[in-house]
Amino acid sequence: MNKKKLLMILRLTRDDLKDFLMSNRKCISGQSCWLWFKGFKLPVLVAHIDTIYNDMFKEWMKRDILYSNNYIWSPNGLGADDRVGVYLLIEMFNQYNVNCLFTDYEEKGGLGAYEACQLFEDVFKDTPYFIELDRRGYKEMVFYNDDYLNKAFYEKLKKYYKKEIGSFSDISIIGQEFNICSVNLSVGFYNEHHKQSEYLFIPSLLYTYEVLPKLLNDLGLKQYKLKKRKYDLYDYEFYCCKNYYDCITCDLFFECNQVKRTWLF
């Protein structure tokens, strides 16, 4: 892993990162999305360039970023969500046969992903699958369109990652639009969206850095299509961990801090 390049990506302002992406001779640019394109019918990796921080203040590129062998952190906001994903896309594009989609405004509802669906329709309709690198933690994978119902897709992924629940990322838009399986994988950041406590745990990043080529090889170039849902997305049941069977009648049900939810599919 090239730590110097990673730190450079973390330090860049959004405008400077846009200029860097557009300088690649294989880049196809939109207003809020950039596709590094090698060819049709290749997997597409996805990451977003925006962070929740205002990176335009005068000293952003000179801000303190502290690092050791295992951790990277900044008191002024690290932006590892999702600059770490951006770094991984650049590394993978330089080494493997993949296309890489960089989006803007993921943190504001996925505006770049919506533009990409229109701008790169001819590329995406034949894409085998999408892999986003925009998930916290270690060895986690998240699906947004019941992609795991495609058993061939899921079986290859579960060799390396454990299934968790997530709320939103660009592939929730793109995968649904083209009816193609997608997954969001952990890249090692923690406490995202919290300025002074966000950090990157390097061993977690290294895991995906080392596993992703194996996963690409396992998945191959077969196209994995979404399966029809067996249940509605919002069919779930609540239960209180203290009183499972009587939870619905419990007076504390909607106020209990220990309420959990179980998806039915």
Region of 163 on the Ramachandran plot (φ > 0 left; ψ -120 to 50 alpha; else beta)? beta
User: Average of pLDDT values for 172-188?
Assistant: 98
User: Average of pLDDT values for 223-236?
Assistant: 67
Domains (range + CATH), the chain: 3-219 (3.40.630.10), 231-265 (no CATH)
Tell me the sheet residues that pair with 35.
28, 101
pLDDT of 60 reads 86
User: 89 Cβ partners below 8 Å, 6+ apart?
Assistant: 36, 45, 46, 47, 100, 102, 133
Determine whether 52 is exposed, middle or buried from the number of CB atoms within 10 Å of its CB (0-12, 13-18, 19+).
middle
Cα(81)–Cα(10) distance, integer angstroms? 10
Backbone angles phi, psi at 24, to 5 degrees: -70, 130
pLDDT greater at residue 173 or residue 261: 173
Element (H, E) at 25: none
Give the pLDDT band of residue 230 (cuts 50, 70, 90).
low
The letter for the amino acid at 25 is: R
pTM of the model: 0.86
Give the pLDDT band of residue 241 (cuts 50, 70, 90).
very low
pLDDT of 56 reads 64
pLDDT of 228 reads 80
